[in-house]
Amino acid sequence: MQKLLQIDFPFNGPFGEEMSTVLAELAQSITEEPGFIWKIWTEQQSLKEAGGIYLFTDEPSAQAYLEKHTARLKSLGVNEVRARIYDVNQSLSKITKAPIK
């Protein structure tokens, strides 16, 4: 069953287009993670936070990615990572044009 993973963490920047340039290679690598379907990159510059919302094919893939990404963030000095994994209500989401299968 598809799972939605949300991650947020403190981030001092860069944001916007500068962030895009710095992290383009990482973004490309994320598309090759097992079970990965898509990621929306989220930013809240005023709060100095960044994160993402991901769709994975199943819970083990989402969990494995979360562990890998949390370790990567820790290696970059980000120690406070908030994450949640959600079930998706497929029937209601289809009515509201959600980008899921």
Q: How far apart are the first and last CA of the chain?
A: 11
Contact between 12 and a second copy by CB under 8 A: the answer reads: no
Find the binder of a second copy among 24, 71, 72, 74 (CB under 8 A): 24
Contact between 97 and a second copy by CB under 8 A: the answer reads: yes
**Which of 55, 25, 63 has the alpha carbon at shortest distance from 38?**
55
Contact between 27 and a second copy by CB under 8 A: the answer reads: yes
Contact between 39 and a second copy by CB under 8 A: the answer reads: yes
Contact between 98 and a second copy by CB under 8 A: the answer reads: yes
**Which of 47, 27, 22 has the alpha carbon at shortest distance from 38?**
27
